[in-house]
Structure 1
Amino acid sequence: MTVDLHLFTEPQQGATYGDLLAVARAAEDLGFSGFFRSDHYLAMGGDGGAGPTDAWTTLAGLARETSTIRLGTLVTSATFRLPGPLAIQVAGVDQMSGGRVELGLGAGWFEAEHTAYGIPFPPLGERFDRLEEQLAVITGLWTTEAGKTFSHKGTHYPVVDSPALAKPVQAGGVPIIIGGGGKRRTPALAVRYAAEFNAPFVSATDAGRLFERVRGVAREAGREPGSLRCSAAQVVCVGSDDATLRRRAGAIGRDLDELRDNGLAGSPDEVVEKLAAFEAVGAERVYLQVLDLSDLDHLSDVADGVLRQLT
């Protein structure tokens, strides 16, 4: 099996930078190929612990304190930042990491975090319009040749004669990830702008349907479908015995039987079998959502029992 495994965290649920650093270093030491985090400002249940951390601020720190793993967001909301400053931020983190950054970008959906922190939350159609313009601006800035300027005649984000700096280290710019279950605009945006399409928190069967849809859109647009990597995201809960599994499921407020049905939960062999189902429908990468960041032994169990079977 050749599925690429990244760890994926949800720091808004209660995690400091120190917590994230410990998990990122453990991920790198254990052989995972990436450490990604959500980009949210409000907990979804619970009190949020010490409070949110900013995604790109923490990734900048991690860029200097890791050396091999990929780093990125799954996903940054287009409502949070203007596209010009975001392009500069991400390019800067890419430079700081030596070219290990990826940008997941979406339209935004969690209205409560917007009202909690004074962030405008337009209607869905406008959010997608803004996302599309942000993608045009960000990729345009990154791909503009040195010494030339970039302009964009947009409704929401007009750009005039930008020097299009700073540049990412990675040739062609930072890889962009777009995902979701949208039937029309999401796959079209992924085909036009993304290096990767992500199917988050759906079954392998449903992920396969989403992958086939986006591949069909690619063919219609004249893009080689194989040039768009397909990925999935699933919560992970691994243990060698039932007691360990139930303890770890309980620590994240989930029922083990429900997790077995709707996530990657079970013994290492069970999880490897579930991953094989995602690979069979075309997933080349799977993001393992780790919700209890204090349980570093869990990461070791995933690495020893699952990751080692894939390499």
Structure 2
Amino acid sequence: MELRIFTEPQQGASYDQLLAVARCAEETGFAAFFRSDHYLKMGSVSGEPGPTDAWTTLAGLARDTARLRLGTLMTAATFRLPGPLAITVAQVDQMSGGRVELGIGTGWYAEEHSAYGIPFPALRERFDRLEEQLAIITGLWETPVGKTFDFLGKYYQVRNSPALPKPAQRPCPPILLGGTGAKRTPGLAARYADEFNLPFVSVEDSAAQFERVRWACAEIGRDPDELVWSNALVLCCGRDEAEVTRRAAAIGREPAELRENGLAGTPAEIVDKIGRYAEIGSRRIYLQVLDLADLDHLELVAAEVMRQV
């Protein structure tokens, strides 16, 4: 099982705080640093100093780290046009020496759109736009150098594009899709995803959704074993119950609830729960770290959990 660090900077974080977490993750052996793509806090936290842009952050980390994979869970398709997004991700991939992964979704948080003047269409249209964006982004990246790319969709039209720049990873960086939708989500994953991710979903519900995606792969003749299957879960690890309780309180949660819905408890408890996800085929766990100042948390998991999974 591969362990990755996943942060939620909209809850309140500067670039320097994110860099400290990323460097700690790199030094302690985690495989990747991912961040959310949101422009507004959630819950009762202040959100100060304010939002940071996901791809601006990853561009900085591309130069300030050396080994970590870098990516988003998930970039909101509502935030960016597909052509400029393809350019941005390709450039950050070049800046990192080929360490970038693009997680992308429809966008879902209506309030952040109204807070920053971003259009927020109905869900069906958001899925339609996401599907066109995936076709355009992959099409631009996969077009041979010297050739041009065209796409005529309902929402986006691309004509005579030089399809540049190219990412360092060829033909393109890995694409992550995810979510619990029973219809369109599995179909898009089967067509476009290198990895399918489920955030904050139980073992049982994960198994059911993985199976839907496997069926969608079979319907188009794709081997589902080509996909990496992964989960994202909030982390709250402690050497003893007092430390678990302290870390839960720091993020405004209860230990019992976190044990039920996340990865909480002693290292042994967390190893056991990760094993249950492994049994249904999950091969990566994104550890949602909410207290970015608690670097000892990462060091504990690296020392006591990572070596056992």
Report the TM-score when normalising by structure 1: 0.98
Give the superposition deviation at 1:281: 0.3
Give yes or no for the alignment of 1:110 onto 2:120.
no
**DSSP-derived class of the 2:260 partner:** helix
**DSSP-derived class of the 2:63 partner:** helix
**DSSP-derived class of the 2:218 partner:** helix
Partner of 2:38 in structure 1? 40
Partner of 1:171 in structure 2? 170
**DSSP-derived class of the 1:115 partner:** helix
Give the superposition deviation at 1:229: 1.0
Q: Given residue 3 of structure 2, which amino acid in structure 1 is its aligned partner?
A: L
Tell me how far apart the structure 1 counterparts of residues 297 and 263 of structure 2 sit (CA, whole Å): 13
Q: 1:17 aligns with which of 15, 40, 51?
A: 15
Partner of 1:308 in structure 2? 307
Question: Runs of 5+ in structure 2 lacking a partner?
Answer: none
Taking the TM superposition and a 5 Å limit, the aligned residue runs for 1:187-226 are 187-226=186-225
Taking the TM superposition and a 5 Å limit, the aligned residue runs for 1:267-282 are 267-282=266-281
Tell me how far apart the structure 1 counterparts of residues 111 and 246 of structure 2 sit (CA, whole Å): 31
Number of positions where the alignment pairs a residue of Structure 1 with one of Structure 2: 308
Q: Given residue 35 of structure 1, which amino acid in structure 2 is its aligned partner?
A: F
Q: Given residue 44 of structure 1, which amino acid in structure 2 is its aligned partner?
A: M
Question: Runs of 5+ in structure 1 lacking a partner?
Answer: none
Give the superposition deviation at 1:205: 1.4
Give yes or no for the alignment of 1:93 onto 2:92.
yes
Partner of 1:78 in structure 2? 77
Tell me how far apart the structure 1 counterparts of residues 262 and 241 of structure 2 sit (CA, whole Å): 16
Give the superposition deviation at 1:51: 0.2
Report the TM-score when normalising by structure 2: 0.99
Deviations 1:3-52 (A, max 9, x none): 11100000000000000000000000000000000000000022101000
Q: Given residue 207 of structure 1, which amino acid in structure 2 is its aligned partner?
A: S
Deviations 1:259-306 (A, max 9, x none): 011110000011000000000001011100000000001111111110
Q: Given residue 216 of structure 1, which amino acid in structure 2 is its aligned partner?
A: W
Tell me how far apart the structure 2 counterparts of residues 89 and 169 of structure 1 sit (CA, whole Å): 12
Identity across aligned pairs (percent)? 64
Partner of 1:6 in structure 2? 4
CA RMSD of aligned residues (A): 0.6
Give the superposition deviation at 1:216: 1.1
Give yes or no for the alignment of 1:132 onto 2:122.
no
Tell me how far apart the structure 1 counterparts of residues 84 and 260 of structure 2 sit (CA, whole Å): 41
Deviations 1:70-104 (A, max 9, x none): 00000000000000000000000000000000000
Tell me how far apart the structure 2 counterparts of residues 216 and 155 of structure 1 sit (CA, whole Å): 28
